[in-house]
Amino acid sequence: MITRMSSLFLRTLREDPADAEVPSHKLLVRAGYIRRVSPGIYSWLPLGKAVMENVARIVREEMNRIGGQELLFPALLPREPYELTGRWTEYGDNIFRLKDRKGQDYLLGPTHEELFTEVVKSEYSSYKDYPVILYQIQTKYRDEARPRAGLLRGREFIMKDAYSFDLDDEGLKRSYEIHREAYIKIFDRLGLSYRIVAAMSGAMGGSASEEFLAPCPIGEDTFVSCTSCDYAANTEAVRVPAPPAEDIAGHPELQVLDTPNTPTIESLVDLVNSLGVLDRPITAADTLKNVVVKVTAPGSTQAEVLVVGVPGDREVDMKRLQAALDPAEVAMFEAADFATHPGLVRGYIGPQMLRQLGIRYLVDPRIVTGTSWVTGANQPDRHAANVVAGRDFTPDGTIEAADVRAGDPCPQCGSPLIIDRGIEIGHIFQLGRKYADAFALDALGSDGKPIRITMGCYGIGVSRAVAAIAEQSHDELGLSWPKAIAPFDVHLVATGKDEAVFEQAERIADELLRRGVRVIYDDRRAVSPGVKFTDAELLGMPTIAVVGRGLAEGVVEVRDRAGGQRDNVPLAEVVENLAAR
């Protein structure tokens, strides 16, 4: 059956929706692909549904090709398995919880590690059963604090989540590798430009972990890549290389300086240099900035005070800090908090007395033993110089919290890094035994002894991929879908008032359909050519064919939506031409 614009459930909008800030959101709404129902919750109208199913089909095909077996878990889940792993609590406000009529606790599944682990435990028992790869494509839920950007950060969204179950680490590595290759095929087929970057594993635990990021100016993730080697990492996952430790001997003694009116690092540096008390001029990088935060462990009601030390020329990047402390929640230390901690002198905190105050102190990896700093003296209007790590203070450990900047040295080769933004469209990681341990998922080995299973976890944001593709494939006129996921291959437009034109277009549509070309036919009689062209460009099918004035000369205009070139194709060849694109 020919899909006709005259009866398609579709109304395009000329204006951007008021709540839309990013191009994919604006265009998917304007082109009638999605409609907002509630913050972060969308309906898929017919064209949007078609694109989403195309993405899901490609994901499914490649998952099946690596032997993945598809199943489908419920979205409404009982509390117990999530209680067992601690995630009922860890998720905090980020999951939707509810009670049934009997008062039992349920949640709307944000991810399904617990269910996958349970089902394998319930079905499999012997080492001969392994390895196995299971996956589902499912609606998931997350009560985001700030749902935004349309499909990019929703509260109801569609994910493919896969899990591998292996007997040993080598098996897990193999499973990880074949997923990595499948993901490359999937994102290639989806027509996405993407980067594979080292990643944190987040609340789900685990070790080796990579993200597939679609580079894009509005992406929520930032990532670094090296200008000379193959290093690339999510900014959260960048590990700053620690310089070698230095000798603590030979440094001058700690010296307390009067430093009134030094509200900024810059003014402090200027004052210290003007005092001439040190053996060399200092820069901001020689000062030690100490930032106080409150850290709340999941399920705890009591916040721990934590001081984070970074070189004074760096800021604490709250996203990196949060990622480093996940699943604990980080909050800023407020004036009221300082009032209850008189030992912490706001603006003049130095690490020298933190141990005495019983406050945990974590530092940037650059702050190694033997380095000497200018920092707070824990008294108003006073700083201390020659404060040596390992002599005057000893941190409780290191933390990746300092901001990462373009030009920073690559941790792999030392060349300058560059920074870009991207949308996370896939995540693969070696989860290890966290969930197998929680559920005691063992296989009986050939020697009769239990083998603890090791798991990999592999996600693709299906609905998010739709938006990511829209972000990468659009122009000022509208969407411009890669052929593999476009709702239709050809947008056939008939223009004018001449019935013969419409009859000819109808014949072309019929023939295209018979040839297996997916065609949408703009058969609207009372609509001007201008509106039809505007709609065709907004909707974004890869090819637009115009049956109209050219017909008098026996030609149909064929436009390439992405490339822009237009050809006048003789009527007799037009079906062949369109089918061959």
Per CB under 8 A, does 45 bind its own copies? yes
- In this complex, which beta carbon is closest to its own copies, that of residue 71 or of residue 332? 71
38 contacts its own copies (rule: CB under 8 A): yes
212 binds its own copies (CB under 8 A): no
Q: Exactly one of 82, 88, 91, 124 binds its own copies (CB under 8 A); which one?
A: 124
**Which residue, among 137, 24, 32, has the nearest Cα to 469 in the 3D structure?**
24
Calculate the CA 16 to chain-centre distance: 25
Separation in Å, CA 312 to CA 128, 383, 397, 449? 57, 13, 18, 55
Q: Is 71 in the site for its own copies (CB under 8 A)?
A: yes
Which of the 8 DSSP states describes residue 457? E
Q: Which is nearer to its own copies, 6 or 300 (CB)?
A: 6
Q: Are strands 232-234 and 41-44 parallel, antiparallel or unpaired?
A: unpaired
- Helices 46-65, 462-472: axis angle to 10 degrees equals 110
186 and 460 in contact (C-beta within 8 Å)?
A: yes
Candidates 21, 46, 177, 450: give the one binding its own copies (CB under 8 A).
46
Burial class of residue 123 in the structure, from the number of CB atoms within 10 Å of its CB (0-12 exposed, 13-18 middle, 19+ buried): exposed
Q: Rule CB under 8 A: is residue 8 a binding residue for its own copies? A: yes
CB of 157 to its own copies, least distance (A): 10
Contacts to its own copies from residues 294-333, by CB under 8 A: none
* Cα distance between residue 78 and residue 254, in whole Å: 59
Rounded distance between C-alpha atoms, residue 517 and residue 519, angstroms = 6
Mark the segment that binds its own copies (CB under 8 A) among 69-77, 207-215, 339-347, 451-459.
69-77
Residue 192 near residue 468, CB atoms below 8 Å = yes
Among 19, 21, 61, 100, binds its own copies (CB under 8 A): 100
Which residue in the block uniquely carries the two structure tokens 């996600």? 459
**Site membership for its own copies, residue 70 (CB under 8 A):** yes
Nearer to its own copies, 155 or 491 (CB): 155
Binding of residue 43 to its own copies (CB under 8 A): yes
Is there a contact between 129 and 96 (Cβ–Cβ < 8 Å)?
no
Interface with its own copies includes 505 (CB under 8 A)?
A: no
Binding segment toward its own copies, per CB under 8 A, in 1-9, 166-174, 237-245, 298-306: 1-9
Is the Cβ of residue 115 or residue 402 nearer to its own copies in the bound state? 115
**CA–CA gap between residue 195 and residue 422 (Å, rounded):** 9
Kindly indicate which of the ranges 89-97, 350-358, 420-428, 510-518 contains the residues binding its own copies, using the contact rule CB under 8 A. Answer: 89-97
Determine if 65 is a binding residue for its own copies (CB under 8 A): yes
1 makes contact with its own copies (CB under 8 A) = yes
Within 8 A by CB and 6+ apart from 23, the residues are 218, 470, 471, 474
- Binding of its own copies at residue 242 (CB under 8 A)? no
**73 or 127, CB closer to its own copies?**
73
Choose the binding region for its own copies from 59-67, 252-260, 274-282, 439-447 (rule: CB under 8 A).
Answer: 59-67
Burial class from Cβ neighbours inside 10 Å (0-12, 13-18, 19+) for residue 33 reads buried
Residues of this chain that interact with its own copies (CB under 8 A) are 1, 7-11, 32, 35, 37-38, 41-46, 48-49, 52, 64-65, 67, 69-78, 93, 96-98, 100-101, 106, 108, 115, 119, 122-124, 132, 134, 139, 141, 143, 145, 155-156
